[in-house]
A and B are shown apart, each in its own frame.
Chain A
Amino acid sequence: MSAGHAHKLYRHGHSPVHALPPHCKIAAVLCFVLAVVATPRTAVWTFALYALLLAAVAAAARVPAAFLLKRLLVEVPFVAFAVLMPFVATGPRVHILGTALSEPGLWGAWNILAKGTLGVAASVLLAATTDLRGLLLGLQRLRMPPLLVQIASFMIRYGDVIADELRRMRVARLSRGFEARGVRHWGVLAKTAGALFIRSYERGERVHLAMVSRGYTGTLPVPDAAAATGAQWTRAAALPAAALAVCLLGWTL
């Protein structure tokens, strides 16, 4: 599955897209993706328009195309699935280069590829223009339960710390001449995982003590983030509004 959780998608910048409040951006991206998903797949031209919309946002955010395209690789497992679809799906067959392919299967493959790609691209744009902290605050402003936001922020804060512990344990294994080569080494790796769990849990207990020592009673203070202005909402709404228009056109034309 997708490796490389460690590197972050965020690209520091000062574009108009970076400057938008995070919760506006999250809402905009979610609405955009919803519009895309709700579009009939037979309206092929709409997807070109969606791609153009995203390209415009990427240009405004000064996110280079190469960066965006590279991150689309996350999709690869599903490309494989999509490629299989014309072979396994039912329905009338069309003959392409002498192979009988299912027509709905071809449509299905197109549907997944087009919508999946647009979805990933939109998410990548969001992640590229919003830093971690902003995303968490944005989710909180969008009424995600505070406890959930706290858990997520602890996960982000300690993700690197724990991944580092995992790396150190690997180096320690390698330094003592151990290299996992097959199933028979799983026992050792599982012990690593077990030790990592114990360390993580105990760190959680220590973090809790440190928090309680400074007066924690269950709620984290929320920094005074300014509410989004009408103008900012309007600007953020440009993308989903355009997408909605395209979607409606796709249904009617």
Chain B
Amino acid sequence: MHVPDGFIDAPVSAATGVLAAAAVAVSLRGARRELGGPEAHAGLGAERTAPLAGLVAAFIFAVQMLNFPVAAGTSGHLLGGALAAILVGPYTGVLCVSVVLLMQAVLFADGGLTALGVNITDMAVVTTVVAYGIFRGLVKALPRGRRAVTAAAFVAAVISVPAAAVAFTGLYALGGTTHVPIGTVFAAMTGVHVLIGIGEAAITALTVGAVLAVRPDLVYGARGLAKPLQLRTSPLAGPVAGAGEPGSGPSAAPGAGPRPAGARRSARRVWLAGVAVALVCAGGVSYYASTSPDGLEKVAQDQGIDAKAEEHAAKDSPLADYSVKDIADPRISGGLAGVIGVGATLAVGTGVFVVVRRRRGAARGDADTDTAAEATTEAGSAAGTGTTVGDAPAPPRHTPESA
């Protein structure tokens, strides 16, 4: 959600602007290393940075237009911070998402110009850094393998989105222009964003899995795993990778049939793992949400008192009345909203996963019992897209010779 002008006051906007500029400056340096390619180590990557980061930014820009239908006509789309971090590395991720936000602000009036610092800090920096940190931690902790990478991507993305919401709440506590109880902001923001995060996580994990299946070398966050990965996936990935020349039509590759089925089976396990993780995560968030409003409230009050003093010069509402309402209300409303938010999240999240599991189970049952021709549109199109993915050939890696 792009913050407009006037949402956060001028000093905090300016401060986040400086913070965002510093983050982008650091990322510009880091991205050269990340995009330099495996061969380039010392300063050779600079010339690759602009075209590659530009294309990745264009990808994020485009993938935000890909609608993921949820239910009853509603749909969501990818935010892309976690995905970018995992696919191209944290620095490039920050850089690309920042550029997307900048262009959206300047070209499409999407998000205020003075709020650009807030938006970059929140959506580019926090999301990306949190996602990558968690992702790398998990990849190191989990057993090596494609499934572990996909699961790590899921967890990283599921946490990164509420993390951005928490960061936004923090900024709002510092520089919000209206005295909404911080507990309420926090509960509302995290509640909604845990939900969004689950969607984001599912899409991110599936997308990372799709890239891993075809070009594992392109997943920056899993580079260290490339070698053992290739050994394990060769029976599945082999025929697809060799399926065609660039530009050859989408004619079915012989290996395209079995692969999506395998991917689907592993996807199902990932989903199950995801349910568990989401439950644990939502539980943690609910604990945090129900305990922390007091702490945050305190900060807000410390902040609020200065602001209040200012306002009271102009108004003559009695202080006693003000403070009673201020304390009595937010505790209850904040706490309640938190409980409702988390409860709704759990209910909807679990519901979605149960439905998905059942549908998948049914589809698999159909596919098993019926003939291949009857194997439902889902399986058919899964195979179709599998072929599409497979069409992207694994071209030879070039050694860029730098001038």
Task: Report which A residues bind B (CB closer than 8 A).
Answer: 1-3, 5-6, 8-9, 26, 29-30, 33-34, 36-38, 41-42, 71, 74-75, 77-78, 85, 88-93, 104-105, 107-109, 111-112, 114-116, 118-120, 122-124, 126-127, 132, 135, 139, 145, 147-148, 150-159, 161-163, 165-166, 169, 172-173, 176-178, 180-205, 207-209, 211-212, 215-218, 220
16 cross-chain CB contacts under 8 A: A5-B64, A5-B108, A34-B10, A71-B109, A108-B178, A112-B6, A148-B99, A172-B388, A180-B68, A186-B68, A193-B203, A196-B59, A204-B52, A208-B48, A211-B47, A212-B400
* Pair B54/A187 contact, Cβ less than 8 Å: no
Once the chains bind, are A166 and B65 in contact (CB under 8 Å)? yes
Tell me the nearest residue of chain A to B95, going by C-beta.
A151
Residue of B with least CB distance to A198:
B392
Chain A residues lying within 8 Å of B294, measured Cβ to Cβ, are: none
Q: Shortest beta-carbon distance, A149 to chain B, in Å?
A: 9
Assess A180 versus B211: contact at CB under 8 Å? Given A156-B103, A159-B61.
Answer: no
Please report the number of residue pairs spanning A and B whose Cβ atoms sit closer than 8 angstroms.
360
Give the distance to chain A from B178, nearest Cβ to Cβ, in Å: 2
B203 touches A198 (CB 8 A): no
Interface check B245, CB cutoff 8 A: no
Which 5 pairs show the lowest CB-CB distances between chains A and B? A154-B54, A115-B6, A108-B178, A194-B210, A119-B5
Q: Which residues of A contact B88 (CB under 8 A)?
A: 201
- Chain A residues with CB below 8 A from B55, complex form: 154-155, 158, 162, 200-201, 203-204, 207
C-alpha spacing A115/B8, complex, angstroms: 11
Most buried by A among B55, B325, B355: B55
Give residues of chain B (362-393) contacting chain A, Cβ–Cβ below 8 Å: 363, 377-378, 380-382, 384-386, 388-389, 391-392
Known: A5-B108, A172-B250, A201-B55. A184 touches B68 (CB 8 A): no
- Residues in A neighbouring B69, C-beta threshold 8 A: 180-183, 185
Q: Please measure, in the bound complex, the distance between the C-alpha atom of A163 and the C-alpha atom of B391, giving whole angstroms.
A: 18
B233 at the interface (CB under 8 A from A): no
Report B-chain residues with C-beta under 8 Å of the C-beta of A108: 177-180
Residues of A within 8 A of B173 (CB): none
Closest CB in chain A relative to B219 CB, distance in Å = 10
Q: B52–A152 contact, CB under 8 A?
A: no
CA distance A192 to B67 in the complex (A): 11
B218 interface residue per 8 A CB criterion: yes
Tell me whether B25 is interfacial, beta carbon within 8 Å. yes
- In angstroms, Cα B213 to Cα A177, docked, is 24
CA distance A106 to B103 in the complex (A): 32
Q: Is B206 an interface residue (CB 8 A)?
A: yes
Given the known A-B contacts A205-B52, A209-B398, are A74 and B178 also in contact in the complex, defined by CB atoms under 8 Å?
Answer: no
Identify the interface centre among B88, B107, B214, B380: most chain A CB within 10 Å of its CB.
B107
Q: Which residues of B contact A124 (CB under 8 A)?
A: 109
Closest CB-CB distance, B209 to chain A, in whole Å? Answer: 8
On whether the beta carbons of A216 and B47 are closer than 8 Å, the reply is: yes
Whether the pair B210, A218 counts as a contact (CB closer than 8 A) is no
B181–A33 touching, CB < 8 Å: no
Identify which of B54, B115, B180, B395 contacts A89 (C-beta below 8 A): B180
Q: Are B28 and A145 in contact (CB under 8 A)?
A: yes
Which secondary structure dominates chain A's binding surface? helix
Least CB distance, B158 to chain A, in whole angstroms: 14
Contact B54 A204 (CB under 8 A): yes
Cα distance A26–B116 when bound, in Å?
14
Identify whether the interface residues of B are mostly helix, strand, loop, or mixed: helix
Asked if A198 contacts B329 (CB within 8 A), the reply is no
Contacts of B61 in A (CB 8 A): 5, 155, 159, 162-163
Known contacts A1-B2, A120-B5; 14 further A-B pairs (Cβ under 8 A): A3-B65, A5-B65, A91-B326, A115-B7, A119-B6, A151-B57, A155-B58, A177-B377, A178-B380, A178-B381, A184-B360, A188-B378, A198-B215, A198-B392
B234 proximal to A (CB < 8 A)? no
By a CB distance below 8 angstroms, the chain A residues around B203 are 186, 189-190, 193
Q: Is B141 an interface residue (CB 8 A)?
A: no
Q: Could you say which residues of chain A place their CB within 8 Å of the CB of B209?
A: 190, 194
B102 at the interface (CB under 8 A from A): yes
B114:A33 contact, CB within 8 angstroms: yes
- Check: B273 CB closer than 8 A to any chain A CB: no
A90, B378: Cβ atoms closer than 8 Å: no
In the complex, are the beta carbons of A204 and B56 less than 8 A apart? yes
Does B169 lie at the interface of the complex (its beta carbon under 8 Å from any beta carbon of A)? no
Contact with A along B302-313 (1 / 0, CB 8 A): 000000000100
User: CB-CB < 8 A to B218: which residues of A?
Assistant: 197-198, 201
A116 touches B382 (CB 8 A): no
The reply to whether A127 and B109 form a contact with Cβ atoms under 8 Å apart is yes
| A94 shortest CB reach to chain B, Å | 11
Expressed in whole angstroms, the Cα–Cα distance for A202 and B184 within the complex equals: 45
Residues of A within 8 A of B382 (CB): 187-188, 191
Any A CB within 8 A of the CB of B264 = yes
Query: Which residues of B have CB within 8 Å of A107?
Result: 178
Q: Which of A92, A154, A162, A191 contacts B50 (CB 8 A)?
A: A154
Q: Knowing A33-B113, A42-B314, A218-B46, say if A188 contacts B5 (CB, 8 Å).
A: no
A9, A153, A184, A209: the one within 8 Å of B54 (CB): A153
Q: Which residue of chain B is the closest to A118 with respect to CB atoms?
A: B5
Which residue of B is nearest A162, CB measured?
B62
CA distance A190 to B200 in the complex (A): 11
Chain A residues whose C-beta falls within 8 Å of the C-beta of B64 in the assembled complex: 5
